Structure formats: structure tokens, C-alpha cells
Structure 1
Amino acid sequence: MRTVRRLLYHDILGAVVFVALAFLALFFFVDLVDQLGTAMRRGYPTWTAVAISLLEAPGNLYELLPIAVLIGTIFSLARLAQSTQFTILRTSGLGPGRALALLATLGAVFAVATLLVGDYVAPWADQRAQRLLLDTGGARAGTRGGAWLKDRYVHDGQPRSVSVHVQRLRADGELRGVRLFVLDDRQRLVEQVVAESARIDDDAVWHLKDVELRQWPDAAGSDGATPAVTTRRLDTWQWPGTLRADVVKAAVLPPNTMSTAELWAYVRHLRAQAQDVQRYEIQFWKKALYPLACVVMVALALPFAYLHARSGGISAKVFGGVMLGTSFMLLNSVAGHLGTLRDWTPWLAAGLPGIVYLSLSLAAFAWLVRYR
């Protein structure tokens, strides 16, 4: 069985790597053309466009790896079936259960690789790309309109609620265009802070620069008088909030660029502030379950090994695999949007495509084993 495992794994791994490299080369060319056009408009050098395109490759690999696993596995198994090698393996004792277990193990390895690329390699490369853009003409990180966050803390024994707006996040972690609106326990404005930039230390203390601070000292009074507003300009100012850097980063960046840990931290923050978490919780579950798509892909590919060699050539089977993979990705995207609109259970909305396609593949596999 060790020889069988080595044969299957070596053949499938080589095919998956080949398909992944082909896809990466295609997407690198597309990204390079786009970056060269941007470089001409912004005036940064050509080598920067090439470097940025290379740094975008890990993110592309994360998105493409399940499709590459499906196409590579189908190609490998169809080739083995066409050359009757898989038939020989079956007659030598490779039963359906053993074949499914072998491919599921390989799919789990691909799933771990997808998780590592998506949570570590791709974010690191994206940060380097944005820092490179900053050094060569300025780049922006974050959503187009910035992000709003809420926080609660106690100041001099009085509860405070804060609405925080961050315009954008630089690649080096600096926040730009920061505004804070501090309300007392009766929801009256007591402080307004506008800062050009800010950094957050490990204790969640915000260090703001170029600050305009407006205060309403008598806002909590009961005499009905109009509160006196004081305005000060400060070079630096510290705000002892509870918002950590990873939570702010998760709020400012688009959800699909966050790591699983950042999404989970942001979901916990939204729950603590009694805010709507449906969208980000679905995105968290999609991110957490996405690597398991590799297991679904190898399960989808296994029935192709049991098709008769004359049931279409290898190219037809690979084309069928491409259609299957595309439909899976489309359903995965649509299910997330439907889950948000219909308020579905987040883990079910994220895992529904995988459950459907895994069930279909196992049903097709069982039918082929029994009747073909």
C-alpha cells in the first residue's frame, strides 16, 4: 500500500503544482499589465510594478488552490484510468474506501497549505506590496470611506461610549484621519477629537498626533445652561480606549483580506458592542472553512477515476472539472450573500456549498462503484 500511496501522491501532487503554476503565470501577466498602467499614471518605476505583481501571487494562489487541486487531481486520475493503471490498482486491492481515504488525506494536506497561505503568506505579501507603494508614491489601505467603530470605557468613574472613525490604514500600521466622538451615560457629546494620525500600542492606548480637541466640560450638568466649548491644539494626545490594533485593522480592511484570527477578533468586538455581526461572522466561517474546499475538490475528482476510459478523453474530463470547480466557487459566493440577506445561520451559509458538492460527489462515487 505504501507503493500505491507513493504513486498516487506523486502523480497528483505533480499535476496540481503544474496547474497552479500555470494559473499563477496567467494571473501574474494580467496583474502586471494592470500595474504597468497604474505605474504610468502614478509615475513609479517599472520594477515596482513587477515586484507588486509578484507580491500579489500568494493571494492569487490562495484563491486558486482549490480549483488547481480539482483540475490536477482529475487530470492525474483520468490519465491513470486511461492507461489502465488505476484498473490494475483496483484489481490489486485498492478498494473504494481505501482510495477515498488516500485522497482525503492528500486533500487535508492541501487544506493545511491553503490555510497557511491565506492566513500568513498572503497577508505578509500584501503588506509588503502596500509598503512598497507607499515608498514609491503613496498607497491606500482600507475601505474607500473608512470605517466606524464603537467602544466603551470608564473615565473618572463615569461610563463613556465612543464612536471612532478611521479614514485609512497605512501599510506600516499608522492610522490616518482619526476622529473620536465621546458621549456620556446620557448620550451627550462631551469630547470631540480630530487627529491627523494615530498609532495603537500593545495596551490598546491610542497615541494621536496633530490633535484638535474640543470639550464640553459642563455637558453632564443639570442646570440647563449651554455648555461652554473649549478647543485646544495639541501635538500629541493619548486616549486610553479598549480598541486593539488588530480590531481596528480588521474594521478598516476589506473582509476578504483579513486573516481568520483578525475576523474572529472583530466579530467578538462587534458582539461586545451589541452591533450587527452577520456579515463578518459569515465571512469568518467562509475563511475558516475555505481550506476544506480542497477536500471537497479531491472528492469531486475521485469519480472520474471510475469512469470508463472511453467515456470521454482526458480533455473532456478536465473541462468537466473546470465547470464543476467554477460552479462551486459561484455557489460559495452566492451562498454568502444570500446568508447575509436572509439572516441564515452563519456556519450553515458558509458551509452549504461544501456540503452540497461533497454529498453529490460521494453519491456519484457510490453509484459508479456499484454499477460501473
Structure 2
Amino acid sequence: MVAPVTPLSGFLPAQIRRLVIKIGSALLVDPDGQVRENWLRTLVADVAERRAAGQQVIIVSSGAIALGARRLKLPKGGRGSLEDAQAAAATGQITLSQCWASLLHENGITAAQMLVTLDDLENRRRYLNASATLERLMQLNVVPVVNENDSVATAEIRFGDNDRLAARIGQAARADAVVLLSDVDGLYSANPHADANAMLIETIERIDARIAGMADSGSASGMGSGGMTSKIEAARIATSAGAHLAIISGKVEAPLSHWAKDGRGSIFLAAPAKRARKGWLAGRLTVRGRIVVDAGAEKALGKGNSLLPAGVAKVEGIFARGDVVDILTEDGRVIARGLIEYDSDEAARIAGKRSEDIAALLGHLPRSVLVHRDHLAMV
């Protein structure tokens, strides 16, 4: 659903108390592998201006692999192999953190570095630790500079792009909004590089199939790892956590000031915030299994009920009690995510069965629901 332009354009301090800003590799690093320091100074000046006006800022910064690859003279921008990417990240992260710390210090701002992996935000205990660290840094008037810890991350345990990382950091920090600085100035009805008639979608109230279909997964620069698909996935995470998300151009100097003046970009409006645990569940990027439910169960879940075995049509995957699973309709739509109460083999045995029949099948009846409503989040 597309609505008229929102007054939230610019995400000014009077509207937004806590803001996450994501900067991609193509904006921060030039094609020769050097930091675009003049442009970065204008962005840091924007940050300083907003902080002086009372806004708290968290930065999610790409660029470590691109910087490290140049220093190590690695081919393919350091992305030729996992080992090259890890080595480039380890080398480039020093340069990246020094650059941010120096420029922020010039503006009287103390910087802090946080390196995280996917598992740090998918594991509930570690997620809470990260959240507590971010909160304390905000209290100390520090600007955290966050990046994925690519020097140890593997294909199985990495975000893969900093768009979704920024959304998850926004969720952990209880931010009011997330801004993705991009090489395009928003979501278009078609790829604007290929279609002259493509139209900018200024305000998105709900991410439906039509909005998702406008995404282009390509990364124009060749440096980054995300495209519009990753940005829409980030918007799902941020908005479900009660934060607005904007996609704006970072190709101009002082991009935040520029946006505050012209308001050009795409804003995904926040949904009502879920309780903290349910927001964490809804924002998770990894699940262990899938539970396919019938129409009756879908309706019951929509009313806030628990998932009963009787409404389950199919169980997919191998998982243990307490793992996170997706709940899908029979036509493949993911409608919820939750913590499963049974191992996968037991869940498959009791699928479609009434509660009174489960004890006879399993020889015991430890739990009457498959996913309890307190551990379930609609998505």
C-alpha cells in the first residue's frame, strides 16, 4: 500500500530520538580502495549537527573488506574466496575504525567500535548483551560504529549485507528509525537504471507482494553485498520492531542535511512495536524448521491463539525443542515465527492430531500446544 509523503522526511531530532545510519562500501570507499574522506567529513558534520540537537546516533559502517583488499593487493575486491574476505576484513577494519574515530573526534565526539556476527544477534542471550552495551554507550554520549565481524564470519553465520545488520542493530538499540544511505535515492516501481519510466515510491505503509516485487537484488558498485532486496528485508525487520526505515541517496555531500531539505527518498512506516521477545523472534534471520498450517490454524493465530497440533498440515526440517521455526500457510506464505515445544520427529507424529490423541501416540503429553502464543510472533 502506498500513501502520500510523510512528515517524517528527514528523520529530524524533534521526531526521532535515536537513529541508526548505515553506510555502504560504495559510498565510503572509492574504486581505488581509498576512503572517500572529503565526503565522509560532510556526513560526520551531519552527525555532529544532529547530536547537538539532541539526537542519539548509531553508525553501521561497511568498508573493511574493500579497504583491506587494496592494502593486501587481493583480487576481486577481496571477495574471491572466504579466506581472502576474512583477511581483507581483519586488515581493513583497523583503517576503517581509525578513520571513524579520528573524524568523530575532530567534532568532539567519542567513538566506540562494535563487531558482531549473525549469531550474536540470533542467540537470545548474546542479543541482550549487545542491546545492553548499545544502551550504555548511548547513556555515555558515545557514537557506536558497528560492523559485521567478517574476519571470523563464515557463510553459515553471517548477515551477508549491512542493510539487515543495521535493522537488527536498530531493534537491539530500540531505535526510532534506521536510514540506509544508498547509491539510489529510494525504492522505485522498476529498476531506474534500466527503465526511464520508473517511479519513486515515497511512503510505504505495508510491505506486500507488490512492494517486494519491485526489488532488484543486484549491487551496482561491485563492492557491496546488498541490493534493493536486502533493503526491503531490512525494512521488514525494522518496521516490525516499531522503527521507521528510510532509503535515501548517499551520493551527495552532507546526505542527511540534503535529505532534511528536499525529503527525497522512500520511507517504510513502522508497525506497532511488538514486545521485546516477540520483536527479536520476528527479526531473526535463521530458523531451524517450517510448520505448514491449515486455514483454521491461520485464523486462530491471527486472533492471538497458540498453535495446536490439530491445525498442522506438514512439518519440515530437523529441529529440537526450543528452536525457532517459521509457520507457513499451505500456499507458502510465512505468517509467524516461534519457539517450538517439540522435537521435529515428535512434531511430525502429532501433526493434525487432537490434543486428547497425542498421549496415546507419544506415551505422554508434556505440552498441549506446538507453539505457545507467548513465544510466537506474527510477521
Normalising by the smaller structure, the TM-score range is: under 0.3
As a proportion of its length, which structure holds more helix? 1
Q: For the pair shown, which has the larger CA radius of gyration, 1 or 2?
A: 1
Q: Give the number of the structure with larger relative contact order, counting CA–CA contacts within 8 Å between residues 6 or more apart.
A: 1
TM-score (norm 2): 0.23
TM-score (norm 1): 0.23
